[in-house]
A and B are shown apart, each in its own frame.
Chain A
């Protein structure tokens, strides 16, 4: 079950934009309910984008029912929490005639400015798993631009974003690319990742169950680095890494240009043994000393 139990991130921090990964709708709701309750408790205006389905009524959505907190249900009534159905969101975004991504950015800016204009101290936005096909590179690039719009807004305003990824409703490519786009802050089942001070910090256990997702995030972290810049990986809070995930590290390092290294800070002892067994390439550098 995925619940981001860390401190509320500062505005402008890379951690302000979180991808929450869950295997099932139920697990996703548990994590989202906790996130919503916290944002509402801090007085944020919350914009929720999701699927209403055939019923078309927010009263039928889980956030209006017992799975959410009383604070959330009251916020829905008072207007502190606004819900927008995905089909309506798409229709609004396409009204401008300049494409879905531009329309989405425009809508996000409008929501943010309206909320701040109404005097809310901060703003929070969340959206359910989008069920995007990610069928080709063009669609993936558009996906990246849309998420980049959130990052641009979060860098200049008191905004926190929760993107929900429910793996049971998305295809494998969507899951992989979504982790890559959101690698700066991920809360997954059993592990999470945060980018702080140019160091990508991983926490928890990395095993075969999450290997594909870890691989997506790792690919995103490497993609973001400019040529020649090393990827600094803080593993001091990682408890377990299995063969599948260690193999991903080795394969990623081998695929990188020679000038780039993957620097592992304080990896678990067993990971070092695993890397030796798998044939650690010279581009994987181990630095010990920070682990408490």
Chain B
């Protein structure tokens, strides 16, 4: 039905090789987009989805190949050129400006003026109209910094609509969103498509892909594998195409969501609740800039137990992560290891106490991109790889080599970390923390940025650590992930841990209600 009209965009044999690491991110990719269609672009990390869309939106220049817009050859040397032609991309992490008002940030680049001055009133009125039209709820006059992460995304999408796109590219738009917010984004997508906009959706969430798309393009290793109509396929077939196998490798990949509730019981492993608590968090509170961001949080984690913490971002998860990592000292309350309170809150002290930590912010906190792979790997063991503060080169080399072998890291040991692919960078970080894990391990968003294959490897590692008797704290906004891995789940809402769920209580629906603040706090469940 849609293909009846001529394509609005015709991408022809685009190739992109990154000179830093010689990776062929796009390899002779051809793609057609039609007005009014919703196209999902799926594939593992490094499959080339983002690369090809960055080329289409003028963020990257291709090595070869061409782009035709309504059959006219176009060349973009900047995002501005693409925007002028009606191709607008909303990035995975929309570059908004925290110190600006929302309207300023969104109208940047297309500011209407009157007598040389910015016409503030028109800006706000236009935005309010768009919000009303699409059912978006954010205040155009608010400061960007005061918006929640999910609202930022909605605002960024509104900003894209202001530019009257003919092609709208959304990179992981639903990543930070709750279910109702996902519905809002979907309704915006549908409304845009009805008006004849070609919408491209880059995402990892197969379930959403199946719901919203008209057509699905699968990419692997920089090539387009197949393009199919959503109506003519199913989730497991798409997953198989992504992974490059005939059928899904295991039940996890695609059917995870359906089986999630019962997965822990299925494994048949004994739950470790009631075991000797290694880590106990007691009445933890934190106030930042006069705002209480953590209120009276208590929980314990025993040896051989995974304690999951979930919730919507901006409800205290980030701050709980920072406290558990020793980066911020709590205003009130304390943390004890084997019953002994921690005296000083610093990452140094925490490392000494045997707390390993995988941060959410892998790039700025978890790695040094300009240091060599080896130098990234030895961070935690640096005092043990030589004598009297002097490194022994052979020991260092041997240590790095063994980690790279064990975790299958592809890259040059002495090259800068920056030259590795995204997946390998993740593996460097994880292998460093998992090589000699302390008795307590804090994971924050362990599967962010990982493709399905690496994610499964990651989950297996967490299972192994649990079996080896480590006490594990798992912070994740992904309910399915928490259900998959955690023995008990603490749900954060409005700076406090409103409920801890155990056993059969841990249902997707219940957690969802709790994290949205919909559930009645006083009934049922174990209150802390």
Partners in one complex: no
A residues near B, CB below 8 A? none
B residues near A, CB below 8 A? none
